[in-house]
Structure 1
C-alpha cells in the first residue's frame, strides 16, 4: 500500500469509495434518507473542492482503497473500502496524518465520527470530547493527544 497526496484524477475513485462505504457500512446505523444525503454531499466536484482546502491523501493498492484529509489538527473524510477493512489501512492513514501534525508541533488531533466509525477511533486511542447533531445525524467529536 502507498499513501500519497490526492490527485485531481482520483476524484471519481474517491467519490465512489465514499458512496460504497456509506451504503455498505454506515447504512447499518443511519436511515436511507441520511445515507442518500451523505452520498449527495460527496460528489466528484465536492471532493475536488475539499482537496483544494485541505490536505487529502489516498491509500493506493492497485487503485484507491482509502482516503483521509486534514486541516491542521482536524481530521476529515476518513474512509476505507469495506473489502479492505481490518487490514490496517485506516490505522495507517490516520498515523500518516497524525505524524504530519506532530511534526508541525500540533498537540492533538480532533475528528468528528459517525456512529459507524466511533469504535474505530476508540481503538486508535481517541477519546470522546462531546457529541453534536449535524445535517447527517449524530456526530461524535473525539481527540487524540499527540
Structure 2
C-alpha cells in the first residue's frame, strides 16, 4: 500500500538520497556526468528543507519513501520516484494528488519542466509539450495539462 502525505523535515535526508539515487541511476542515461553532479549538489538535505518552506512538498511511502513531488500553485517541481519503484503507479499517484489540490485551489491546468528522462512519463499522463529550453541542468521540456 502506498500513502501520499505532506513532507516533514525528518524526511529531508531520505528525500535527498532518493533524488541523488534517481539522478545517478536513471537520469545519467540522458545527461552528462557534470550535469548530474550539479543536480546532486543542488538537491542537498538542507536545500530540500528550504524548498519545503517555499512549496507544498509530498512524499509517497511504501516501505520507506518511494517518491516525492512538490507544487507551487499549478507548477510541478521535484518529481522523483525510486528506481526500483518505477512502473508501480507511484509517480501517477503523486501527480494526481497535486493535480487534485490545484483543482481545489481553482487552477484549470498544471505546468512542469521535465527532463529528457521524465518527458515520456508526463506525456503518458496527458501533458503536452509547450516548448523546450536549456537550463543550468541541461535540456528541459515545458509541458502543460488541462485539469478536468
* TMscore range, shorter length: over 0.9
3-state SS in 1 of match to 2:57: strand
Number of aligned residue pairs: give it.
146
1:36 matched to 2:37? The reply is yes
Deviation of 1:132 (Å): 1.0
Within 5 Å, which residues of 2 pair with 1:89-100? 89-100=90-101
Deviation of 1:63 (Å): 1.1
Moved segments of 4+, more than 6 Å: none
TM-score normalised to structure 2 length = 0.98
Please name the residue that 1:136 is paired with.
137
State the superposition RMSD in angstroms. Answer: 0.4
1:16 matched to 2:17? The reply is yes
Within 5 Å, which residues of 2 pair with 1:55-134? 55-134=56-135
Deviation of 1:62 (Å): 2.1
3-state SS in 2 of match to 1:57: strand
For structure 1, list consecutive stretches of 5 or more residues without a partner in the other structure.
none
Cα deviation per residue 1:25-65 (whole Å; 9 max; x = unaligned)? 00000011100000000000000000000000000112111
Please name the residue that 1:7 is paired with.
8
* CA distance in structure 2 between the aligned counterparts of 1:84 and 1:29, rounded to whole angstroms: 19
TM-score normalised to structure 1 length = 0.99
For structure 2, list consecutive stretches of 5 or more residues without a partner in the other structure.
none
Within 5 Å, which residues of 2 pair with 1:40-59? 40-59=41-60
3-state SS in 2 of match to 1:30: coil
* CA distance in structure 2 between the aligned counterparts of 1:79 and 1:6, rounded to whole angstroms: 14
